[in-house]
Amino acid sequence: MAQHPAHDLVVIGGGSGGVRAARLAAQRGARVLLAEAAHLGGTCVNAGCIPKKLYSHAAHYRHAFDEARGYGWQVEPPVLDWPRLRRQRAAEIERLRGVYARLLQDAGVQVRQARARLLDAQTVQVGDEVVQARRILLATGAAARRPPVEGAGLALTSEQIFDVDPFPRRLVIVGGGYIGCEFASIFQGLGAQVTLLQRGAHLLPGFDEELTAFLAGELRKKGVVLRFDAHLQRLERTRDGTAVHLEGDAPLVADAVLLATGRAPNTAGLGLEAAGVRVNDKGAVEVDGEFRTSVPSIHAIGDLVDHRALTPVALLQAGALVDRLYGCEHEAPREMRYEDVPSAVFCDPPVAAVGLTEAQGRERHATLRVYRSEFRPLRHTLSGSDERAFMKLVVDDASDRVLGVHIVAPEAGDIVQGFAVALKAGATKALFDNTVAVHPSVAEELVLMRERRCAGGMSIA
């Protein structure tokens, strides 16, 4: 096998974090090689954030047709062309892959479409070549995980559901996290009858429980069937579809089953053992605060490590790492902090949050003030929809600092972005109160919740 000159950095994995790190390092003069066995863009571009959001838009159009009648529009019953939607999505994903390839090429990154694995602390096998590297970055992300139940192979994962054929009129989703809730709204909106099974008592573990209880009610209004404390036993192929057997309950029959039961770090065949890279009990690569693994020349970022599995987190990690490795003398490196990381769930209605939940706030602070508001968005006063919005602020009573913002409302993801900056800056409730509202808007409610507005749902705890 051919020996190549040393590279300053070899990146294994061409997802969001890997591409960004490779590009930024090359722009700062490093000799960079990036290896990706599949498509550039990783999960986010190919089977995650982007295609899910495109399908979410498609699902919302169905509701928009219905709501338009309340505003005087005469609309014929809409018909979904599922094959066309799939083709349109695939074309956009292909375009984005090209964008990633051009960004890397323009930065001077060498790209190899090949599987890579570690041979030692500074040696990587890339396809049938062996390359030497001063530093190595692992950015291989995570993959969908199937539960260890009989017949699990009969179900789809979130990486396969985009191209399910034919369109499933009856869809059972196992798992009530981000992926489960988003696909429940997508397929219900596109015309399927969706049943979502959740092992626990709440949707979206990790989010504020009052928020998730409100969301459950809104999903039911849309027609999604929710079943909590539902334990999957096995899946079985029948003449009428796929039978979903549950503990202590009659089986469900579906045209398709989606397993949204979590993701696991993508470490198989990566050569971690050979290089001496340690993993934790979750299978994630262990790193320190500067993304170094147990081997100083090897770093890791993104879903491969045990932090928030979000694309923007991987992007910021990539920037922080490159700043430290190849930064300018006159610029302080970016810091990667995991407090106040905003997140959004693009279900219907959307969910967004930043900061502490009420339960987390009570664990860390002596006294809280909790402000709540539930209301009907203006757009639905004529639309005929009974959808409602929910907002909640968690405030430390001693300092008046806003600790958490929690939203279920149209455009929640866009709203929370600005409030995430405010929380990072240490905004107080008084600062919220003294901010002029944008009227009429959904977001204005977050700066209008006052102690005197008891009817609006405020309470002090």
Does 189 carry a binding-site annotation? no
Q: Pick the closest to residue 17 from 281, 286, 224, 319 (CA basis).
A: 319
Does 374 carry a binding-site annotation? no
Q: Which tokens in the block code for residue 43?
A: 């999960």
Does 303 carry a binding-site annotation? yes
Does 176 carry a binding-site annotation? yes
Q: Which helix (H) or strand (E) holds 233?
A: strand 232-238
Provide the Cα torsion 98, 100, 105, 108; round to 10°: 180
Residue 349 preceded by cis peptide, ω within 30: yes
Q: Nearest-5° angle of CA 111, CA 114, CA 116?
A: 100
- Rounded to an integer, what distance in angstroms lies between the CA atom of residue 302 and that of residue 95? 23
Does 48 carry a binding-site annotation? no
- Rounded to an integer, what distance in angstroms lies between the CA atom of residue 275 and that of residue 13? 17
DSSP state letters, 373-417 = EEE--TTHHHH-----EEEEEEEETTT-BEEEEEEESTTHHHHHH
Provide the Cα torsion 332, 334, 337, 339; round to 10°: 90
Q: Answer whether 138's CB lies under 8 Å from 221's CB.
A: no
Q: Answer whether 11's CB lies under 8 Å from 278's CB.
A: no
Does 384 carry a binding-site annotation? no
Does 319 carry a binding-site annotation? no
Helices (H), 69-208: 82-107, 178-190
Q: Which tokens in the block code for residue 285?
A: 């690569």
Pick the catalytic residue: 63, 380, 406, 439? 439
295: three-class secondary structure by DSSP? coil
Burial class (CB in 10 A: 0-12, 13-18, 19+), 337: exposed
- Rounded to an integer, what distance in angstroms lies between the CA atom of residue 444 and that of residue 219? 24
Does 66 carry a binding-site annotation? no
What is each CA distance from 230 to 119, 174, 256, 347, in whole angstroms? 44, 9, 18, 21
Q: Answer whether 134's CB lies under 8 Å from 297's CB.
A: yes
Which amino acid belongs to residue 224? Answer: V
- At 258, give phi and psi (nearest 5°): -110, 125
- Rounded to an integer, what distance in angstroms lies between the CA atom of residue 9 and that of residue 226? 48
Q: Pick the closest to residue 184 from 148, 220, 143 (CA basis).
A: 220
Give me the residue label for tokens 């722009």: 27
Does 177 carry a binding-site annotation? yes
439 is catalytic: yes
* Binding site as annotated, residues for NAD(+): 175-182, 262
- Annotated binding-site residues read 53, 175-182, 262, 303
Which residues are part of a known binding site for FAD? Answer: 53, 303
Catalytic residue set: 439
